[in-house]
């Protein structure tokens, strides 16, 4: 019995419809994929543009920040320069006043904070700071017979002193206190001229931080140690002045007030600072293996 290949028309139409629907679905999918692809491309381009803009803004901000920092640094340097200039001008005015009119007020104000009172169980004298880390120069005889020494600064603070060493022949002692301090500037005593104005700062008869004015009357005088290392000055010196600084019109220490001749008027003597500095450094080298200045 033979089978017939006849397909009903309704079945063919259904298959055709299905095929058309399948093509439409495929086309729709392709269309959606293409649309998504375009969206992704546009999104990527937008993100790229955003990143580029962000990078550009960051670079601009970085440049502006650097420029701002540079301006701050420049302004700070200008302020520091002006402050330094103001200080220099103030010092110059003080020196001019001291040189031309015997007005030592500026010099005294600048240097008195580096002067100290030294009190021991046996005596009282003066000293001055020669370094910011607390080294003090004074006369050795100020410490004679002492078991301890107490240092009083200009702002009335009190410190226990350690004796680094001394030279009894030159009459120099080196002390040390703990802390950070304003120190005095040491000058060059070789350049000091007869007739030059000077001031002495000390504690005469217990009157703390007193000053007296005078001139260099002579130089290279011989002391009781038979050494020609002393300035003669008519600046008033009294017990308690020993170990204090003799300061010139530039505000620099040129001598250490040492002794006076009793029975005479205004006959004071100060050890030349170059000798004092040399002796102090010998003491420091022998005791600390270092130099003070």
Q: What is the pLDDT of residue 86?
A: 60
Burial class (CB in 10 A: 0-12, 13-18, 19+), 186: buried
Instruction: Answer yes or no: CATH 2.40.10.10 is held by domain 118-182.
Output: yes
Q: Is 242 a catalytic residue?
A: yes
Catalytic residue among 171, 183, 210, 236: 171
Q: Is 171 a catalytic residue?
A: yes
Contact 239, 257 (CB under 8 A): no
d(CA 242, CA 272): 14
Q: Could you report the average pLDDT of every consecutive run of 10 residues in the chain (293 residues)?
A: 53 73 79 78 73 76 74 73 58 52 77 94 92 95 92 93 94 95 95 94 83 92 93 88 93 94 81 96 84 64
Q: What is the pLDDT of residue 90?
A: 53
Structure tokens at 142: 């100020």
pTM of the model: 0.66
Catalytic residue among 183, 210, 212, 242: 242
Phi/psi at 41 (5° precision): -60, -45
Domain boundaries, the chain: 9-101, 118-182, 185-280
**Do the domains 118-182 and 185-280 sit in the same CATH topology, yes or no?**
yes
Q: Is 180 a catalytic residue?
A: no
d(CA 29, CA 24): 8
Instruction: Answer yes or no: CATH 2.40.10.10 is held by domain 185-280.
Output: yes
Q: What is the pLDDT of residue 109?
A: 86
User: What H or E segment, with its residue span, contains residue 34?
Assistant: helix 9-101
Place of tokens 């046996």: 122
Catalytic residue among 131, 141, 167, 234: 141
């Amino acid at each position: 019995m033979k089978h017939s290949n006849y397909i009903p028309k309704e079945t063919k139409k259904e298959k055709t419809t299905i095929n058309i629907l399948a093509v439409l679905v495929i086309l729709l999918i392709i269309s959606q994929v293409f649309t998504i692809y375009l969206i992704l491309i546009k999104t990527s381009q937008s993100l790229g543009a955003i990143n580029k803009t962000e990078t550009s803004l960051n670079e601009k901000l970085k440049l502006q920040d650097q420029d701002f920092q540079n301006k701050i640094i420049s302004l700070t340097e200008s302020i520091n320069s002006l402050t330094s200039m103001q200080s220099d001008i103030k010092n110059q005015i003080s020196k001019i006043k001291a040189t031309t009119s015997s007005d030592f007020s500026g010099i005294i104000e600048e240097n008195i904070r580096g002067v100290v009172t030294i009190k021991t169980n046996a005596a009282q004298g003066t000293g001055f700071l020669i370094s910011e880390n607390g080294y003090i120069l004074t006369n050795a005889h100020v410490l004679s017979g002492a078991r301890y020494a107490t240092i009083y600064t200009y702002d009335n603070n009190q410190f226990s002193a350690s004796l680094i060493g001394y030279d009894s022949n030159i009459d120099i002692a080196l002390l040390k206190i703990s802390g950070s301090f304003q120190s005095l500037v040491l000058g060059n005593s070789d350049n000091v001229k007869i007739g030059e104005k000077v001031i002495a700062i000390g504690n005469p008869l217990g009157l703390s931080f007193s000053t007296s004015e005078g001139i260099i009357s002579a130089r290279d005088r011989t002391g009781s140690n038979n050494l020609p290392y002393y300035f003669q000055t008519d600046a008033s010196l009294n017990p308690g002045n020993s170990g204090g600084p003799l300061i010139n019109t530039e505000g620099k220490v040129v001598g250490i007030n040492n002794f006076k001749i009793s029975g005479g008027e205004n006959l004071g003597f100060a050890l030349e600072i170059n000798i004092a500095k040399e002796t102090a450094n010998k003491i420091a080298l022998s005791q600390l293996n270092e130099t003070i200045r």
